[in-house]
């Protein structure tokens, strides 16, 4: 426990002075200073790259990082659902991650899928986890080293502490949120929100209907980030959500198309801004837009669009 406390203090000293609510981010500098530790078979520190598939990882990754394929490793093989507790535990154990490991995560698309894995760790009760600010792109663009060598670590014993439902929303929760005017944040593109398209180009999961959950505000995921892919300072993030009426007065539910972009929004609200009750609706639009009898709104509304997908 003392070692983890020292490591968290080091994170605070090395991060940019943005005064986030928690120390859930680490910098590229912090990771670069610990590459030998990450590459060690000692399970206390483990680095994980999470992408839609392993193409980026295979081309080159941070030395010592193991690679997770979001499609095959973190989703249930036969259901539109997250990976089961047993399969999740087996995945972590096989890659040398134990219950006491500090896990640092990064990935492509400015950490979409990395944020989803971070959310999964929170859902399954592994609290000692961080995101690498800026993800894969910032690491490479800042001239940091990469390798194609795939590390092999001794398998460890891992058991999920349980499921912590306070971070997850289901379809009935969203129905109740609409009735109670709970804050809903749609992290998709404005064209998706307005119902002009049902999904971004080149995607494999679609809804039959377009639009948004009634009452949801559209804060595009990329509005949380600076131009270099790192998160905006806390005052800018607070202003962004305050201007859209998303406050810490009650539960906030974030969603997108399949739950990965909204994981980034969940991370910002929960970890960087410290909102007390934030849920990620991982069923998202592929569930809501295909469900029978649920209300849908279409058309324009004020959005915050910083570009991106």
The maximal CA–CA distance of the chain, rounded, in angstroms, is: 55
Q: What are the residues facing 75 on neighbouring strands?
A: 82
Closest CA to 7 of 36, 35, 29, 30: 30
Q: What are the residues facing 147 on neighbouring strands?
A: 61
| Phi and psi at residue 11, to the nearest 5° | -60, -45
C-alpha–C-alpha distance, residues 200 and 273, integer Å = 28
Contact 153, 67 (CB under 8 A): no
C-alpha–C-alpha distance, residues 253 and 296, integer Å = 16
C-alpha–C-alpha distance, residues 25 and 130, integer Å = 5
Q: What is the token pair recorded at 68?
A: 């997770």
Closest CA to 118 of 282, 301, 308, 288: 282
- Active site residue ranges: 256
Q: What are the residues facing 293 on neighbouring strands?
A: none
Query: Which strands make up the sheet holding 129-132, listed edge to edge?
Result: 25-26, 129-132, 102-107, 45-51, 66-69
Closest CA to 283 of 169, 185, 120: 169
C-alpha–C-alpha distance, residues 56 and 168, integer Å = 29
Report CA torsion sign: 57, 60, 62, 65.
positive
């Amino acid at each position: 426990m003392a070692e983890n406390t020292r490591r968290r203090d080091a994170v605070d000293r090395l991060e940019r002075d943005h005064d986030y609510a928690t120390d859930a981010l680490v910098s590229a500098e912090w990771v670069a200073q610990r590459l030998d530790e990450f590459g060690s078979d000692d399970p206390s520190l483990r680095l994980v790259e999470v992408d839609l598939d392993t193409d980026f990882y295979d081309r080159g990754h941070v030395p010592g990082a193991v690679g997770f394929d979001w499609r095959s490793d973190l989703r249930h093989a036969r259901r539109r659902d997250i990976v089961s507790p047993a399969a999740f535990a087996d995945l972590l154990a096989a890659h040398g991650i134990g219950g006491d490991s500090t896990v640092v995560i990064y990935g492509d698309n400015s950490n979409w899928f990395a944020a989803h894995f971070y959310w999964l760790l929170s859902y399954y009760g592994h609290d000692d986890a961080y995101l690498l600010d800026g993800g894969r792109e910032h690491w490479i663009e800042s001239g940091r080293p990469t390798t194609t060598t795939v590390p092999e670590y001794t398998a460890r014993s891992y058991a999920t502490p349980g499921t912590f439902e306070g971070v997850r929303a289901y379809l009935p929760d969203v129905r109740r949120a609409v009735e109670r005017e709970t804050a809903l944040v749609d992290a998709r593109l404005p064209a998706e929100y307005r119902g002009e398209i049902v999904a971004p180009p080149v995607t494999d999961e679609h809804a039959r209907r377009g639009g948004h959950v009634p009452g949801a505000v559209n804060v595009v995921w990329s509005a949380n980030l600076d131009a270099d892919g790192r998160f905006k300072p806390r005052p800018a993030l607070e202003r962004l959500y305050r201007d859209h009426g998303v406050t810490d007065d009650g539960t906030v539910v974030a969603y997108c198309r399949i739950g990965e972009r909204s994981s980034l929004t969940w991370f910002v609200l929960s970890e960087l801004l410290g909102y007390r009750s934030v849920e990620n609706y991982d069923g998202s639009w592929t569930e809501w837009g295909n469900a029978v009898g649920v209300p849908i709104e279409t058309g324009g509304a004020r959005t915050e669009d910083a570009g991106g997908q």
